[in-house]
Each structure stands twice: as C-alpha cells, then as structure tokens.
Amino acid sequence: MTSLPVVDAPFKKDPSAPFGFASFRYTERGFDTQAVKVLPGEFYADSKDTPIVTILGSCVAVCLRDAAVQVGGMNHFLLPDGGESGIAGTAGRYGVNAMEMLINELVKRGAQRSRLEAKIFGGGHVMKNFTSLNVGQRNAEFTKEFLNTEGIRLLSEDLLDVHPRKVCFLPKSGRAFVKKLAVDESLVMQEKQYQSRLVEKPVAGDIELF
Amino acid sequence: MLSILAVDDSPSIRQMVAFTLKSAGYSVIEASDGADGLAKAKEKTVNLVLTDQNMPLMDGITLVKNLRGMPSYATTPILILTTESSDDMKAKGRAAGATGWLVKPFDPVRLVEIVKKVIR
C-alpha cells in the first residue's frame, strides 16, 4: 500500500492567536507543507519547518530562532514616517512593539530571549517618492540598534540596496532563502498604505484598571 | 520625588519606559525580571511598580503576589504592562492583586496619565 502524500489540513484561524499573528496559508512551490505568508505588520512563530514567506520593499523582516529548542519566527514591519527612530523615539516604539510581539510568541513556545539569534532582511531603497530620505535605511538601522540593545546575536543580514526581496525562513532549522525581485509598484503602494495606517491609527493597547 | 520600579526583561522596553517616566518627573529604578524586581523592591520601597508578565526566573503575576505579601507593598499601585491581552491572564493578574493591566504597545502620554492617576 502506498502512503498518501502529506497535505496540510485546511487552515483554520486560531481564535486564541494574538493580534497580528499571520494566518494566510498557501502552497509555495518547492515545499511539501503549506507556507505561511507574513503581511506588513504581522508575525509568525512555529516549532515545525513551516515555510514562513514575506515580500519586502523598504520594510524589514527579522527572523529569530532559539537553536536549543528549535523554535523560530519572523516579523515584517517598518517605522512610520517622521519622529525619532531610536528605541525610545516616537517612531522607534512601533519597531520595538513588532519585535516584542515576535519575541513573546517565541518565549511562549519555549525559547529564551538570551539564546535568540537573528537573520535580518529588507530595508531596500524602493520608495523613491517618500519624504524621508531613505525609509529602508531607517528601518534597517533601527533593527540593528534593537538587536544590539537586546544582545541578540546577528547571524546574517541582507539589507539596503534598491531591490525588493522575497524571503523564506524555516523556523525549526533556521535556514533562510532570499530572492531579489524587480521593483513592483503595487508592493510600493502596499507599503505606503501600511505606513500611513500606522500614522492615522497610532498603535496602543487597552488599559484596564481593576 | 516619587519613585517607580520598572520591571521588564527587554532592555529596549525598559529604556522606553524609563525615558517616558523620567520625562514626566519620576525617579525610575529598573529591574530585568521578577526576581530582580522583588530584590530591588525590598532594597527601596517605591511608590509604584510597573511590570511585564512573561519574564525568566519570575513572571509579573508571581512578583505581584510576592509584593502583596509584604506589608510595605500592601497598597502600592502595581501595573502590569504586557503583550498578553487575554481575559484569563487579566483575571489572574487581578486575583494576584494587580492594580491595572496595560497591553503593549503603550502610548507614552496615556502611560503617564495612568501613572499620575494611581500613584501615591
């Protein structure tokens, strides 16, 4: 009797998943299991080698992994236009939050903050009409400053330049693949919309006094 | 000067919180996890504790329980600042004796407002 090929069950959104946890699954060529697409502002973490895929223009994606427990994940973010981009700055806190969401999810799955290692991608100079001089560079610099402050070891980086990138990360093994893409206007528009959403609807969590 | 103990295992979050609260005129003591927070709370009695939940060695809710067991912290405002937002976790925080639950990311202006409201 021949065994049937392994196919993922249709993905149901986990109601207990935190806000921003990526839920779009699709078939990515070259992989047996369904891939997860991380959209701008989202993140994903897993202890299986689920391919985590994202497309980056000036945004950055940070892939974090704790090799000891083989848990990893990826986020995808950019800083809003204007404001200070340092960690304590008005723009920087959006990035700190994106990192915190991912790290917290990894810690819940058994990772230790002190053991995390990073691979970082993106920050391409693709938004030529933007008021900021170089949005991608700002995102890349923030990310490196954050990792340095947190003491997270940087294993590899593919940053800046003028190309969008497609990144695929396997969270269990920690392998990452990058493909440089041609500049795509729809990607640039998507990032601009994401950035303006950040400014229009500032991110802040609920407050409850008991 | 009123003092605040800020407990978080992320140096970046501690930096953001300390910057915000110092700018509002408070003195800030930082701790890197619940156990460190408890030790620093014993060293100097502060006017308010702001703590993360998920941390190594001791989590935020356990820190709250420990502090509430000390006469000097029986009524001190203790706020939990975390990415956790489930009702279940909030209920645990409330049962442990926390004063309030703040979900990250925090808005610096609102954080200062809440601190002003509850600190004593």
Within a domain: A137: yes
Collapsing DSSP states into helix, strand and coil, what is residue B83?
coil
What pLDDT digit, counting tens, does each position of A23-78 carry?
A: 889 998 888 889 999 999 899 999 999 999 999 999 999 999 999 999 999 999 99
Within a domain: A104: yes
Chain B residues in contact with A204 by the CB 8 A cut-off are 105-107, 110
* pLDDT tier at A197, thresholds 50, 70, 90: confident
Within a domain: A7: no
Separation of alpha carbons A126 and A4, rounded Å: 44
* pLDDT tier at A2, thresholds 50, 70, 90: very low
Report the candidate in A3, A203, A1 with the shortest Cα–Cα distance to residue A101: A203
Separation of alpha carbons A141 and A149, rounded Å: 12
Report the candidate in B49, B68, B16, B103 with the shortest Cα–Cα distance to residue A84: B16
Interface of A with B in 140-169 (CB under 8 A): 146, 149-151
Within a domain: A2: no
The mean-pLDDT minimum among A124-133, A184-193, B60-69 falls in: A124-133
Within a domain: A11: no
* pLDDT tier at A1, thresholds 50, 70, 90: very low
The total number of structural domains in chain A stands at 1
Separation of alpha carbons A106 and A75, rounded Å: 12
Report DSSP letters for A124-178, one per residue.
Answer: -S--TT-SSS-HHHHHHHHHHHHHHHHT-EEEEEEE-SS--EEEEE-TTT--EEE
Question: Which residues share a beta bridge with A25?
Answer: A36
Within a domain: A80: yes
What pLDDT digit, counting tens, does each position of B14-66 carry?
A: 988 999 999 999 999 999 999 999 999 999 999 999 999 988 899 999 999 99
pTM over 0.90: no
Question: Is A168 one of the catalytic residues?
Answer: no
Q: What Cα–Cα distance (Å) separates residue A20 from each residue in A38, A108, A205, B65? A: 9, 16, 13, 31
Q: Check whether the bond before B77 is cis (ω within 30° of 0).
A: no
Within a domain: A196: yes
Task: Calculate mean pLDDT across residues A82-89.
Answer: 77
Partner residue opposite A204 with nearest CB, options B9, B90, B105: B105
Give the pLDDT of residue B1.
Answer: 92
| Mean pLDDT across chain A | 86
Separation of alpha carbons A89 and A85, rounded Å: 5
Report the candidate in A192, A141, A131, A136 with the shortest Cα–Cα distance to residue A164: A136
| Mean pLDDT across chain B | 94
Q: How far is CA A10 from the centre of its chain?
A: 23
**CATH code: domain of residue A31:** 3.30.1330.200
Within a domain: A207: no
Domain range for A122 is 20-165+173-200
